[in-house]
Chains A and B, each alone.
Chain A
Amino acid sequence: MTPTTTPAPQPPTPSQTVGPFYGYALPFTGGGDIAPPGHPDTLTLHGRVLDGAGQPVPDAIVEAWQPAPDGSRTGAPGSLRRDPVTGAVIGRDTVTFTGFGRVPTDADGHYTLRTLPPGGVAYISLAVFARGLLHHLHTRAYLHDAGPLGDDALLAGLSPVRRATLITTSDGPRVHRFDIRLQGGDEHEETVFLDFG
């Protein structure tokens, strides 16, 4: 039994890369399907993870976290819901909105999430992990149709070119495109990544 002690500040554990072999451990069935199936408000958020040469990153993982449509930020269990008999991941219960998604990129560096609009904010928070990335990166996908983005403090503090990397582009009705560029190059602007201190 661990003795209960008075909490005192602790030095953090360092990050290490997710490496190349998480593929049979972290992804789970329905990981990108945050929205209950058939929900009329479902939006698609998709794009590619690209490296500094503009090449796709086929061994990345994108995680999404967001408030429920009613603005609740408590989330809910059940993203990796299991069959207690076989142990298999059977996916979300089709009713609960967990607010959490996780998808690996495919061979072309592409990811797809299906979710509901976040309540109270204009963005979906993303974390990116990849082989070669020693410490994951946080960014935000601001939905271009979520209303006026002008009074968002983060966006307001960025140059137009940098700001544009955080805002989705329309790829059809209710389809948002959001590419994540881990490193800038001659042809493309690096995505803005965030430090929460």
Chain B
Amino acid sequence: MTVPGSMTTPLTQATISTEITGSREHYARHLADGGSARTHPDRAYPPYRSSLLRHPKQPLVAVRDPEMVELSGPAFGVTDITDLDHDLTRQHQGEPLGERITVTGRVLDRDGRPVRGQLVEIWQANASGRYAHQRDQHPAPLDPNFTGVGRCLTDDQGGYRFVTVKPGAYPWRNHDNAWRPAHIHFSLFGTAFTQRLVTQMYFPGDPLFPYDPILQSVTDDRARERLVAAYDHERSVPEWSLGYHWDIVLDGPAATWTEEGH
């Protein structure tokens, strides 16, 4: 096996792609043997080299206590948000460069009930594929009119809406010639801390999908497709913006009593 980061043997996309295929075949056998479908990535996913020392080796310990604190969760409100937070194109003096888009959708729990009044946070690279982060050394231009951070609260139907520009793909150092498909990072809260989710939204038809070990860490085909937004022409605004739609379903139990409490 190639040593990660070795100077003498660069880790190639071919090696990573072979590992990605191996993981997928392993999962297919798991299903064929009657195993259950798996939504979330295995935390130990070798094609994503940074996971090697950062995943637990012991099984998680199941907690099924109806009195546990984690069945409740943090609350957010109007003091945590300003009116401009959902519009990433209006946070500076000028307009950012790039393709103006809207991203809308609903946040639901796994019973399909809307998650109301909860915090949605996003962050993303600019249209050139550069983050406004000191440690991003990708030699693509920063945009003085784009930071790439947004927040909003979900409405009574669980709906959220952001205005932004389509982020660019960017290189990273997992292996030689590694590129991340364009994506927007999302952070979500439910009514219960058990429902906490941090994830990434992708854009339909991106040719980089098969090469990316982070997206491919979701080995279930249908689960992986749930990370890809839909282009929705009905939501595009003439002469203004392209519309993308992405619904998010939070996993994890939620106490029914929080319904009454809120």
Contacts and interface: CB of A to CB of B under 8 A. Distances in A.
Interface in B139-184: 147-149, 151, 157, 159
Interface centre among A77, A130, A158 (most CB of B within 10 A): A77
Contacts of B131: 21, 24
A82 B82 contact: yes
B232 to A, nearest CB: 12
A63 B149 contact: no
The SS class assigned to the B binding surface is: loop
Interface in B191-207: 193-194, 196-200
A190 B60 CA distance: 11
A183 B57 CA distance: 6
Interface stretch (B8-16, B28-36, B216-224): B216-224
A48 to B, nearest CB: 14
B70 interface: yes
A77 B79 contact: yes
Contact of A26 (B70, B123, B196, B250): B123
B106 interface: yes
A136 interface: yes
The SS class assigned to the A binding surface is: loop
A115 interface: no
Contacts, number: 261
B22 interface: no
Interface centre among A8, A136, A195 (most CB of B within 10 A): A195
Contact of B60 (A73, A75, A125, A193): A193
Interface stretch (A38-46, A51-59, A169-177): A51-59
Contact of B123 (A22, A51, A74, A193): A22
Interface residues of A, number: 78
A79 B151 CA distance: 14
A28 to B, nearest CB: 9
A128 B50 CA distance: 15
Contacts of B68: 196
A10 B82 contact: no
B123 A24 contact: yes
A129 B198 contact: yes
B197 A13 contact: yes
A116 interface: no
B81 A82 contact: yes
Pairs A-B, 3 closest by C-beta atoms: A77-B77, A132-B50, A25-B123
Given A7-B111, A7-B114, 14 more contacts: A10-B111, A13-B250, A16-B217, A21-B125, A26-B187, A53-B53, A74-B75, A75-B74, A79-B76, A123-B69, A133-B54, A183-B56, A196-B194, A196-B253
30 contacts: A7-B114, A8-B112, A10-B111, A12-B40, A13-B39, A13-B199, A14-B220, A15-B40, A16-B227, A18-B187, A26-B121, A65-B69, A66-B69, A67-B72, A75-B73, A80-B119, A80-B151, A100-B75, A131-B50, A133-B54, A135-B43, A136-B198, A158-B61, A183-B53, A183-B55, A193-B58, A194-B60, A197-B64, A197-B252, A197-B253
